[in-house]
Amino acid sequence: MNTEIETPAEKQITPWGLPEIIYAIIGMIVISVGIVLVVELFGFKSNAILIIYELLYLLPVVVVMLIKKAPWEALGLRSFAFSELLVGVSILFLAYIVIFLHNLALVALGIAPQGEYIAELFNLDINIWVLGITVVIAAPIAEEIFFRGFVYAGLVEKFGWKKAVFISALFFGAAHMQLVSFIPTFLMGLVLAYIYQRSKSVILSIILHFTVNGFGFMMIYLVKTFGENIPL
């Protein structure tokens, strides 16, 4: 019996491929550097910059989709089976245990884990609601459409789903630009890409990403509010 899991990209040819993915990533790097320069050189400060930065992940995707005249369903914007949600939650729970142990190891070595860097955002002059919307809502939507619906789907046709899961997770981990966060985000990238390939739905990966970020945001908020010291 063939137990291979088919993906949307394996059933039909994805309108984009590796060249478009490379162009999109280069475009994102250029745009990100541009935003940093504007903020640093002109002292531009706005709470909205966080949301805008996250939503910029969608810009290269929209450009490619329009140029290729591709259907939006090609990004995985489709429903999913409830059983896949249960599978996703179960795998995320196991992954979070590994991440928790990883963070404990960092703390034992005297290295600040990812959560402490994120917690620093609470000390900045940023509206808590804007920060919450960015982390919990904007980031899951934009990042899942980009990394799973666009990058993964474009890689799987050339490399196969197993390598595509690994490569897209590498991109996802590197995109967060913090060494201490690479392993947790890389692991999350593996899980979310695998769930995407199983469910054929980026909507499910958005929901799971929302769950992870929402839980993390809530825990960090509680830590900052009540002064607890737990390794997130």
The pair of three-digit structure tokens given for residue 163, joined into one six-digit string: 């390598």
Eight-state DSSP code of residue 65 = H
pLDDT over 60 (residue 3): no
**Assigned domain for 28 exists:** yes
Q: Residue 203 belongs to what H/E stretch?
A: helix 202-226
State pLDDT tens for residues 64-100: 999 999 998 899 999 999 999 999 999 999 998 998 8
List, for residues 117-126, the tens digit of each pLDDT value. Answer: 666 666 666 7
24 domain residue, yes or no: yes
Residue 86 within a domain: yes
> Which pLDDT score, from 0 to 100, does residue 105 have?
87
Give me 92's structure tokens: 């995320």
Mean pLDDT, residues 208-212: 93
Distance of CA 125 to the CA centre of its chain: 25
Q: How many domains does the chain have?
A: 1
pLDDT, position 217: 84
Domain annotation covers residue 104: yes
Check: CB of residue 148 under 8 Å from CB of residue 202.
yes
pLDDT score recorded for residue 43: 62
pLDDT tens readout for residues 136-156 = 999 999 999 999 999 999 999
Number of continuous H segments (helices) and E segments (strands) in the chain: 12, 0
139 within some domain: yes
Is the CB of residue 61 less than 8 Å from the CB of residue 75? Answer: yes
Instruction: Give the containing element (helix H, strand E) for 9.
Output: helix 8-11
Q: Does residue 1 lie in a domain region?
A: no
The larger pLDDT score, comparing residue 102 to residue 124, is at: 102
Q: Where are the alpha helices (DSSP H) in 43-137?
A: 48-55, 58-68, 82-108, 114-119, 128-132
For residues 54 and 2, is the Cβ–Cβ distance under 8 A? Answer: no
Q: Is residue 183 part of a domain?
A: yes
Radius of gyration in angstroms for the set of CA atoms belonging to the chain, rounded to a whole number: 18
Contact by Cβ (8 Å): 191, 92: yes
Structural domain includes residue 2: no
Domain span holding position 187: 8-226
